[in-house]
Structure 1
Amino acid sequence: MTSLRLSDRAGRGVLLATVLASGMAFLDSTIVNVALPRIGHDLTASLADLQWTINAYTLTLAALVLIGGVLGDRYGRRKVFLIGVVWFTLSSMLCGIAPSVPLLIAGRALQGIGAALLTPGSLSLIQSSFVPEERAKAIGAWAGLGGVAGAIGPFIGGYLVDTWSWRFAFYLNVPLAALVIFATLRWVPESRADEVEPGAGGRFDVGGALLGAIGLGGVTYALVEAPGQAGTVAVWAAAVMGVAALAGFVWVEHRERHPMLPPQVFASAQFSAINVVTLFVYAGLSGVFFFLVLQLQVVARFSALQAGVSLLPMTVVMLAFSSLSGSLAQKIGPRIPLVAGPLMGAAAVLLMLRIGPGASYVWDVLPAVTLMGLGMTTVVPPLTSTVLAVVADRYSGVASGVNNAVSRAGGLLAVAALPLVVGLSGASYQNAGALNGGFRTAMMVCAALFALGAVIALVFVRGKAATPPPERHRCSVLTPMEPGVRTQH
């Protein structure tokens, strides 16, 4: 069904459900970062435990988000989306009541599974529900509002941690999910890939799904555990298994009749280049968020609420300029924004080197986070719309899943690798001197990641918007914010 408009009540209902759901997943990605020091104190957690608190969620989300897109395309996007929302909510409650680190990490892993089902669905439901001429506008609203939801996470997390407990950061998802379920049942139409192209379903790619999950899991485990167990058999076995599984995933996807990740989506060089930019930008951003909230609270002695409020300028900038950024990118093409945005991000990260003991919010924090907001506002709308502008409707779930998986994998690997690179492990994050030194090195690495994203965009992204190759079954579509895609078939 592609008959809805933003002026219709049903159209606004679809936007409400999808924005709230994806915002809930984005919110959880950022809100927990602010709570990390308090979680570490209450549960006597090591740095590796804190890494796993972040990475257990990101790992299952990155590993399974492609499956979520495929399941929605084949069995009903609304159905899979609702299952994801309910799953996410129940696992959030488990995280809230977790009495120990292992149970919290298990709950976070389960949260990631729910997010993997609802995140690609939130985008593909917009793409399949709205008339073609309204899709870009709806996607722009989804991108901007979803970005704001993620950006206010640190503020909300800080307030909840200081006023109540870090556990309320997870309980917050319950009322949000209730509203999402109501709006979905009332206004969101069902859709499947075979409505666009009969026979698009096919057999489920179990081998590809398992190899992808094992590959990401093995590499992540090796990176996180290396500081304490560098030469152990377990770390080396995990690393070798992870790399071998990822190589096997590529091999299987090229030979599978109904692959989870159709190689056709990479036929566009523009699509591949945008996803590489996504990888570097989101790796840099995730590394910044992981270390910055620790630096503000442990070294600069901000409270959790003050640390969260410190990041609010990003929200304000994204809210004010996301729509303008998307419109400008449509006029001038994606290359300039995709070069300028990461460069602004790199400059913002270098400004963060000023944050240390006795840091001033106005002089040391505010300029850096404001510039970071401008950089992400510049890069996110064209990143998403361009990547989805080169893929076809039958792959809308897979396409958004690819871009989401790339962004999550970038963040996953950054959070796993950076403490190893800067020499932090165990409880060293609680030592202001050790953390301050590690933070400075980590920011240099994150600045380099942003800069690499800009270089890739400059060299490989075309100046004009991508146009998919003509095909037999062509349906015009655009797309979202947390990386997405589109191919024509």
Structure 2
Amino acid sequence: MLARHWAVFWVSMGAVFLMTMDATLQPLALDGIKDDFGTSLTSTAWVLSAYSISLATFVVAAGRIADRSGRKQAFLLGLALFVLGAVGGWLAPEFWVLVLSRAVQGAGSAFVMPASIGLILAVWPEDDQTRAITSWTAVGGIAGALAPLVGGGLIEVWGWRGVYLLSVIVGAPSFLAGRFLLSDTERKVVSRFPDLVGALIVAASLGLLTLSLVQGRAWGWGDGRIIAAFVLALFLFPLIRQRILTHPAPVIEPRLLGLRNFRWALFIAIAIPGFLFPYFVMMIQYMEQVWNYRPLQAGFAVLPFPAVATLASVMAGRLSRRFDERTIAVAAMATTTVAVVWLRIVPGPDPAYWTAFFVPIILGGIGGWGMGLPMINAIGARDLDNETYSLGMGVLSTARQIGALTGLAIAFGLLGNVSEAQLFDRFQQIWTALVVLSVLGVFVTLSIPRRTALGR
């Protein structure tokens, strides 16, 4: 009979596996979504943006709700939302329904991802919890490694709706299993409910800012809608600040912002994903839009990226025993900058995968994705204790989503709505912008204090 802690592990990891895979599958589905609904590529980008906005908005509130009502309830609520959103995406008759469904899935992920590791550790033997954490990380890495191949095959056979059907097929049984196999964890009564009004204001500001960046080129930067969206987004920032300072359970705990290392971690949590996520998504879009790759071809092409990233993340953990996190982060950013410069110089309008894309895929997977992203949590955790760790990790997750969202909005905004003849030139502009963002990321990581300088 399967030991209880392993049963809880596989139920929890089934959901994490599904959501990690889903995040990697979505870029492969964009072209089919665009053709099916007749939307522009910039409009189709809202499939990614809606998910990121929702996840960034609710991840901190989800953590507070989990502390208040128990991780099992939070996990099941999140998984139910994710499956509900997958049903909506699978059956979506209109594009706006698909975008709304992705927002529901993002909210579901905000509940599931933080709760899953807590559920596992609650029933895991105390003297073997390191094994649980490394296994949790490994399963997520395997999901990312398999996703391009699985996603390409699904889209070839079932079309883009197959991505959502997979979430229904896997997610619904996982929810039923979770009801019976997961254990309630310790409940911590908090004085106030999370600031959901503040979270919605954050969502509105992110949505308006994304709208202005994504549609600015297509509608024209002087368009009244763009100006209004940008001004309103700026107007909401002081309201967010006020709620953070005055609400008993704000979206960001003010005391975290007073921690020096945590502030730096917030900067790199925005800077690194700010070019890494568009870097990955735009490589797929380039191969599909410029080289006319089919989804399965694009999936095979990017397959080495998550594979080497998984191996590099393990290597980063070992290197952190000998080197400061700052040193590893700088090396990771520099490596990825070389990869982005390669994309700006080498690829041409004619397919040439091995000379044009293989090298940046390997360098990007090893550098920023495999070694850079893990260092965000490592640097942020320097100043955190048991009381602030979960909340701090939630805030860093929000920052990562904001960075990814901003980078993707800039990239799709630069791409605009263009003819096939203009695509290559527009991608050159995107690679140039990503070079600038990656160089800025290098300078941000260089500014991080060394651990030894802090007497650690």
| Structure-2 separation of matches of 1:312 and 1:438 | 25
Shift of 1:229: 5.0
| Structure-1 separation of matches of 2:322 and 2:104 | 42
Unaligned runs of 5+ in 1: 1-7, 469-489
Aligned 1:174-213 pairs, distance under 5 A? 174-178=168-172, 180-181=174-175, 184-185=178-179, 187-192=181-186, 194=188, 200-213=190-203
Does 174-183 or 77-86 show the bigger shift? 174-183
For 1:41, which of 31, 35, 42 is the aligned residue?
Answer: 35
Q: Is the 8 A contact 2:284 2:302 kept in 1?
A: no
Change in CA separation of 1:125 and 1:390 when aligned onto 2, cut-off 3 Å? farther
Change in CA separation of 1:236 and 1:111 when aligned onto 2, cut-off 3 Å? same
Shift of 1:183: 5.6
Shift of 1:187: 4.9
Q: Which amino acid aligns with 1:214?
A: A
Aligned 1:297-376 pairs, distance under 5 A? 297-353=288-344, 354-375=346-367, 376=369
| Structure-2 separation of matches of 1:213 and 1:370 | 34
Aligned 1:64-463 pairs, distance under 5 A? 64-126=58-120, 134-178=128-172, 180-181=174-175, 184-185=178-179, 187-192=181-186, 194=188, 200-227=190-217, 228=219, 230-353=221-344, 354-375=346-367, 376-388=369-381, 390-420=383-413, 422=414, 424-426=415-417, 428=418, 431-463=419-451
Q: Is the 8 A contact 2:215 2:416 kept in 1?
A: no
Identity of aligned pairs, percent? 25
Change in CA separation of 1:66 and 1:98 when aligned onto 2, cut-off 3 Å? same
RMSD over aligned Cα, in angstroms? 2.6
Change in CA separation of 1:388 and 1:187 when aligned onto 2, cut-off 3 Å? farther
Q: Is the 8 A contact 2:261 2:382 kept in 1?
A: no
Superimposed CA distance per residue, residues 145-167 of structure 1 (whole angstroms, 9 cap, x where no aligned partner): 32342343332221111222111
| Structure-2 separation of matches of 1:70 and 1:465 | 34
Shift of 1:82: 1.0
| Structure-2 separation of matches of 1:458 and 1:11 | 42
Shift of 1:461: 3.9
Shift of 1:396: 4.3
Superimposed CA distance per residue, residues 44-102 of structure 1 (whole angstroms, 9 cap, x where no aligned partner): 11123211121111111112222112211222122111111111011111101112212
Change in CA separation of 1:314 and 1:453 when aligned onto 2, cut-off 3 Å? same
Q: TM-score, normalised by structure 2?
A: 0.90
Superimposed CA distance per residue, residues 130-183 of structure 1 (whole angstroms, 9 cap, x where no aligned partner): 577655553343334323423433322211112221110111112332454356
| Structure-1 separation of matches of 2:158 and 2:96 | 23
Q: Is the 8 A contact 1:155 1:312 kept in 2?
A: yes
| Structure-2 separation of matches of 1:19 and 1:330 | 27
Does 12-21 or 235-244 show the bigger shift? 12-21
Instruction: Tell me the secondary structure at the aligned position of residue 435 of structure 1.
Output: helix
| Structure-2 separation of matches of 1:361 and 1:89 | 36
Does 30-39 or 10-19 show the bigger shift? 10-19
Kindly tell me the number of residue pairs found equivalent between the two proteins: 452
Q: Which amino acid aligns with 2:89?
A: C
Aligned to 1:475: none
